[in-house]
């Protein structure tokens, strides 16, 4: 393209979001092959790649297939048709699945075996192990398995989403004279898929057997008097998007409860089958689930690699895992300190997981028991089972505080947990609302109102990540404590929007979706472009999970054309194409994939050396700008601002161990370490951990 005739509608300016997401999963899978990672962590990365692919089919592929059914002609800025997207997605996912099993069978399994960790196949069992397996089958499996022969009185059973099943071929007749040639065996979900063989029966220190292997070995016992000629595991992935028309329901909670059951039986989008399954049997399953040959994935191993995620936790081998670490606490907030006094002395920044999440829990616990605290308000998107956050809110409500919790019931795959949490909070006397119809509440906010003398002071916590203690040890995120009066008023206004009807009040410091965030981001980018055109210092550094929104991409292109140096750290999807001559020459895009999931959103604008730094719950995607309640908040304290720049941005721009760079063709290449290696996450653990 001629840079002088820049055409924003030119499809080559954009990378397809589905293909970009699969590129991210390829980078995750590469971590399973990376010998600098501990062996059991490499197994975890393999499982994460498998789990990511499951969700990709449940949501993204399912969405594309729906558009085919409804004959949608809507295309993204890359102008790829739905059919072309499905074709390219199929090519990439088949290659990814094949590579997953190659990595398991040819790389990880042999290395694990050398370390005394083995997954035994039936032909590898010794006599004592075979007897133990048989006892296990009769004690644990036989009582709960319900084989179903396919005949006129036994139609094909409903198959749960992602459940383990077996297609069994038979010969002979039973006691009733039936000669069912095919039967289905469904493995109950409550049973573990990987079983640890007791130590007294093992040769190596850690030996495991797959549930599928046990069923294979003893499937004949399920069909007495019949001859089993084949047994093949299979798994169906279904459309898991929830279909709840917000505008047409009176009670979102009850509507979701009804829809959650249906998620298990949505339209099939993928069929995984054992590698040795005959074509005739595959054809039967393909017809049953109304799938095409391209939807069939042959698996050279267990059909659900995600279930191997349990294995590292079953093995006490610290030498094969990432080193344990203890997150630190800010010096101003030692254990047992007065949270309110600490925050009054100035804003406090937390950088997870390197710094502890416990001060957030401490704030709520102290607020719950403090007689001067009148009001607690909080948003909850994901918080996890048995959450100390939920317990503190329940205790506060029971002690008579005015507790209001905005729970996002439609947080994908956390709906059931959030429904249960909403019920518990309501029973404790808290006010529970579900946000605004048609908009997901994705903002991360806590507001505590406390009486201090003759005034009411507002204490606020704002964050880039969820109020989830477990993920706070696995995701990188920032949180900010403040009692800034203006910020407190802004947060109070947002809570009023979420709980009561009325016009959106004008905010003074916070940017908010769906009202001001998108327009302000565009203005901030254009301001840098204006500085560059005038010869003033101009630079943008932005870190996020995904960059998709077309107008923001165009604004970044125009800023690059004006000479602004733009460095983007985008973990997952990036639809912007860097390195285009005359268009994105000044844009560099990198992705960090390491021990922790990069999750923080940071936006830095040099602004003629009067720099501004923002933290946010929002990625630069259309859904975050226009279909969600999001907040973006400034870091104004110069000392904390410097910390965010150094710890959240600059250190990642120098990473040469876990960094990948996006090329203009949409592919990523791994940045190679030079004379001196630099791993940002490891460096932060050393700097900030105890």
The distance from CA 668 to its chain's CA centroid, rounded to whole angstroms, is 21
List C-alpha distances in Å: 626 to 80, 242, 484, 516. 23, 20, 28, 10
Alpha-carbon distance of 384 to 396, in angstroms, equals 19
- DSSP of 144-212, one letter per residue? T---EE-BTTBPPPP--TT--EEEEEEES--TTS---SEEEEE--TTS-SEEEPPGGG-SSSEEEEEHH
Write the DSSP symbol of residue 436.
B
To which residue do tokens 């932005």 refer? 542
Active site amino acids: 442
Please state whether 472 falls in left (phi above 0), alpha (psi between -120 and 50) or beta.
alpha
Is 595:322 a contact under the CB 8 Å cutoff? yes
Helix/strand/coil for 257: helix
Alpha-carbon distance of 350 to 640, in angstroms, equals 10
**Given the DSSP bridges, would you call strands 268-274 and 296-299 parallel, antiparallel or unpaired?**
parallel
Question: Torsions phi, psi of 468, nearest 5?
Answer: -135, 105
Residues facing residue 167 across a β-bridge: 184, 232
- CA quadruple 680, 682, 688, 690: dihedral, nearest 10: 180
Alpha-carbon distance of 126 to 407, in angstroms, equals 53
In 454-534, DSSP assigns E strands to 455-463, 475-482, 511-513
List C-alpha distances in Å: 435 to 411, 424, 499, 643. 12, 18, 7, 33
The angle formed by the CA atoms of residues 674, 537 and 347, to the nearest 5 degrees, is: 85
Helix/strand/coil for 489: helix
Residues facing residue 194 across a β-bridge: 210
């Amino acid at each position: 393209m001629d840079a002088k005739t820049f055409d924003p509608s030119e499809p080559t300016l954009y990378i397809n979001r589905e293909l970009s997401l699969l590129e991210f999963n390829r980078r995750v899978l590469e971590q399973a092959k990376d010998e600098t990672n501990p062996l059991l962590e490499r197994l975890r990365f393999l499982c994460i790649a498998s789990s990511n692919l499951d969700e990709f089919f449940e949501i993204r592929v399912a969405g594309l297939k729906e558009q085919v059914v409804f004959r949608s002609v809507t295309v993204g800025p890359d102008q790829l048709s739905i059919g072309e997207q499905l074709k390219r997605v199929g090519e990439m996912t088949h290659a990814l699945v094949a590579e997953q099993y190659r990595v398991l069978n040819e790389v990880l399994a042999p290395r694990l075996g050398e370390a005394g960790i083995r997954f035994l196949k039936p032909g590898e069992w010794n006599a004592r192990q075979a007897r133990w397996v048989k006892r296990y089958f009769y004690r644990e499996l036989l009582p709960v398995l319900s084989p179903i022969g396919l005949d006129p009185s036994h139609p094909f059973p409903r198959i749960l989403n992602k459940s383990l099943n077996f297609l069994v071929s038979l010969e002979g007749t039973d006691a009733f004279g039936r000669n069912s040639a095919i039967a289905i065996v469904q493995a109950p979900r409550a049973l573990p898929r990987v079983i640890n063989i007791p130590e007294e029966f093992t040769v190596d220190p850690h030996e495991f057997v797959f549930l599928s292997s046990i069923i294979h070995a003893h499937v004949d016992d399920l069909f007495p008097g019949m001859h089993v000629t084949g047994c093949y595991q299979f798994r169906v992935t279904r459309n898991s998007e929830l279909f709840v028309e917000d505008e047409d329901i009176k009670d979102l909670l009850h509507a979701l409860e009804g829809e959650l059951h249906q998620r298990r039986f949505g339209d099939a989008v993928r069929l995984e089958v054992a590698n040795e399954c005959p074509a005739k049997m595959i054809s039967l399953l393909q017809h049953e689930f109304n799938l095409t040959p391209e939807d069939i994935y042959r698996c050279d191993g267990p059909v659900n690699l995600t279930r191997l995620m349990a294995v590292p936790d079953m093995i006490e081998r610290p030498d094969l895992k990432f080193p344990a670490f203890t997150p630190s606490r800010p010096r101003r907030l030692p254990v047992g300190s007065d949270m309110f006094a600490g925050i009054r002395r100035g804003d406090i920044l937390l950088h997870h997981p390197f710094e502890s999440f416990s001060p957030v829990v401490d704030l709520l616990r102290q607020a719950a028991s403090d007689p001067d605290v009148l009001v607690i308000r909080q948003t909850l998107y994901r918080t996890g089972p048995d959450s100390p956050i939920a317990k503190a809110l329940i205790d506060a409500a029971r002690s008579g505080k005015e507790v209001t919790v905005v729970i996002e019931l439609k947080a994908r795959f956390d709906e059931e947990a959030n429904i249960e949490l909403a019920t518990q909070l309501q029973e404790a006397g808290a006010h529970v609302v579900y946000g605004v119809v048609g908009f997901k509440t994705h903002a991360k906010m806590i507001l505590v109102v406390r009486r201090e003398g003759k005034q009411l002071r507002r204490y606020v916590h704002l964050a880039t990540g969820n109020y989830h203690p477990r993920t706070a040890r696995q995701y990188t995120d920032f949180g900010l404590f403040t009692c800034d009066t203006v910020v407190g008023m802004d947060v109070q206004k947002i809570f009023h929007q979420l709980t009561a009807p009325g016009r959106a009040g004008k905010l003074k410091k916070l940017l908010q979706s769906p009202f001001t965030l998108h327009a302000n981001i565009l203005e901030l980018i254009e301001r840098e472009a204006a500085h560059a055109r005038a010869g003033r210092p101009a630079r943008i550094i932005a870190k996020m999970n995904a960059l998709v929104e077309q107008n923001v991409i165009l604004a970044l292109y125009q800023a690059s054309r004006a000479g602004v140096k733009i460095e983007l750290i985008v973990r997952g999807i990036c639809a912007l194409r860097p390195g285009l001559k005359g268009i994105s020459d000044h844009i560099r895009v990198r992705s960090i994939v390491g021990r922790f999931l990069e999750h923080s959103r940071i936006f830095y604008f040099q602004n003629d050396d009067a720099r501004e730094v923002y933290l946010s719950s929002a990625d630069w995607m259309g859904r975050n700008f226009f279909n969600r309640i999001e907040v973006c908040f400034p870091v104004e304290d110069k000392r904390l601002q410097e910390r965010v720049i150094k710890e959240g941005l600059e250190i990642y721009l120098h990473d040469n161990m876990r960094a990948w760079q996006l090329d203009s063709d949409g592919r990523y290449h791994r940045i190679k370490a030079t004379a001196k290696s630099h791993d940002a996450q490891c460096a932060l653990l050393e700097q900030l951990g105890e």
